[in-house]
Amino acid sequence: MPNNYPQVLFQNRKPDRITTLEEYQQSGGYRALADVLRNYSYKDVQEALVEAILLGRGGAAFPAGRKLMTIADDAPFPRYVVCNADEMEPGTFKDRVLIHADPHMIIEGMIIDGYGAKAEKGVIFIRPEYESAAKILEREIKIAKEAGFLGKNIMGTDYSLDIVVHRSAGRYICGEVTAQLNALMGRRPNPKQPPPYPTEKGLWDRPTVLQNVETLANIPHIIRNGPEWYKSLAKTETGAGTKIFCVSGRVNKPGCVELPIGVRLSEIIELHAGGMPAGSEYKACLPGGASTRYLSKEFYDIEMDFEPLRQVGHRLGTGAIMVFDHKTCLVGATLNLTEFFARESCGWCTPCREGLPYIRDLLARLEAGDGREELIPMLQQMSKHLWSSYCAFAPGAVSPVESLITYFEDEVRDHISQKQCPFK
């Protein structure tokens, strides 16, 4: 079935190339910026984003407008706006697709967000695996600047903003806000515990507002069409806007698709990801990257929106749906995910640095058929310890482990009683 829902972020998406500045402008691009610069105070921008209920699309779902509002009126300058293009959550590739589809939409969103923060310096932080996206952004930033949308006195107004692309050298923790700021300053990217929050003391101790690529791309549309229109895009009462879901794993058509917030998981898998391959039955999915909890069969029809998922103890995360079928061993999958987190832990605080390898070893024993009954409470207890770590990395890392035991304890026990992985 073709996707008949309104396409907002992907409205100009083409199969083989980016949308040029000219094409973006033909679709209404940079009109929101012109409107903002002429008719909006920086507080109006903040209010529009709050009213639209724009929640951060990078995984944490923090309200984008509220984030801007935490910058004090008398906060010092220069202020910074940072675009987080360090998408490293396993299963997540929506920002890469979005940058390759319509780079100017992100640039325009970033300028408006910067205006809402009175920022004069912008940085796009991008992972090294996305070198082609980094090159596209550098080229298009230059083109935007030549057209008067960036640089000094944007579109003849008092507002000035420059954007540079900052390449990372690759570590998952750099996606965490405070770690990313450290990385940008050439320091070891350990997270810092707020307060002070980055909007008070961020880059070089100046107010810094950081948003995900997809969050920023939404901003021009909210300004152009209004918060009410934006909210009406969602299928749920609690939701607003669309979401780019990237679906991978056991589906016939893995890829990125833009759908209303609140569309059901079953619809995404069956209609928009081509269904599951013949002979495969749905067992579980991770709904929003590796640091979310397995959604078992009982949630197959759940509305994919922040609030409905929260109410049943789950998170939408990045909207990266990884689908597992009945033939896939979830102990093995969880071992793989834990290996990822153990390797990517920055090592700064003890629960995370020591706890994750411990959990990995317990899972490895279970998977190898060396498990014993008492390993299950040990896994639970150790996972609990990780909640006392320094940043959100470790609680995210144990989400698959905890939900494995909640929903698939029988499968874990089968590994113990059969003294081997039942899927091998």
CB of residue 358 to other proteins, shortest distance in Å: 20
DSSP letter at 269 equals: I
| Cα atoms in the Cβ-side hemisphere of radius 13 Å centred on 323 | 28
- Per DSSP, what are the bridge partners of residue 242? 260
User: How far apart are CB 212 and other proteins at their closest, in Å?
Assistant: 14
- Measured between alpha carbons, how far is 423 from 65 in angstroms, rounded to an integer? 47
The angle, 0 to 180 degrees and rounded to 10, between the axes of the packed helices 213-225 and 103-117 is 80
Nearer to other proteins, 32 or 335 (CB): 335
Q: How many residues bind other proteins (CB under 8 A)?
A: 49
Q: Rounded to whole angstroms, how far apart are CA atoms 302 and 288?
A: 13
- Between 226 and 274, whose beta carbon lies closer to other proteins? 274
**Continuous segment of H or E residues that includes residue 231:** helix 227-232
- Shortest spacing between CB 372 and other proteins, in angstroms: 25
Distance of alpha carbon 245 from alpha carbon 319, whole angstroms = 5
Position among 226, 254, 275, 357 found at the interface with other proteins (CB under 8 A): 254
The helix/strand/coil state of 328 is: coil
Residues 91-110 as x/- pattern, contact with other proteins by CB under 8 A? xxx--x--------------
- Binding mask 278-307 vs other proteins (x if CB under 8 A, - otherwise)? ------------x-----------------
Q: Which stretch binds other proteins (CB under 8 A): 14-22, 50-58, 127-135, 224-232?
A: 127-135
Residue 180 in contact with other proteins, rule: CB under 8 A: no
> Nearest to residue 228, comparing CAs of 55, 48, 69?
48
Beta bridge partners of 163: 122
Least distance in angstroms from the C-beta of 340 to other proteins: 5
Cis bond upstream, residue 196 (ω within 30): yes
- Among positions 320-379, residues that touch other proteins (CB under 8 A) are 320, 322, 324, 328, 332-333, 336-337, 339-340, 343-344, 346
Nearest to 124 by CA among 50, 113, 269: 113
Considering beta carbons, is residue 76 or 377 the nearer one to other proteins? Answer: 76
d(CA 9, CA 182): 30
- Single residue of 28, 41, 131, 142 touching other proteins by CB under 8 A: 131
**189 is a contact residue toward other proteins (CB under 8 A):** yes
Distance CA 394, CA 389 (A): 6
Binding track over 389-418 against other proteins, x by CB under 8 A: ------------------------------
By CB under 8 A, residue 186 contacts other proteins: yes
Quote the least distance from Cβ 140 to other proteins, whole Å: 20
Q: Does 210 bind other proteins (CB under 8 A)?
A: no
CB 137 within 8 A of CB 167: no
Please give the structure tokens belonging to residue 335.
């071992």
Site residues (CB under 8 A) for other proteins, limited to 133-172: 166-172
Taking Cα atoms as reference points, which of 60, 30, 53 lies closest to residue 242? 53
Q: How far is CA 361 from CA 131, 133, 352, 374, in A?
A: 35, 37, 14, 14
Window of 3-11, 27-35, 122-130, 354-362 that interacts with other proteins by CB under 8 A: 122-130
Question: Does residue number 127 form part of the binding site for other proteins (CB under 8 A)?
Answer: yes
CA–CA gap between residue 335 and residue 331 (Å, rounded) = 6
Should residue 24 be labelled a site residue for other proteins when binding is judged by CB under 8 A?
Answer: no
Binding site for other proteins (CB under 8 A): 87-93, 96, 127-131, 166-172, 183-189, 204, 246, 248-250, 254-256, 290, 320, 322, 324, 328, 332-333, 336-337, 339-340, 343-344, 346
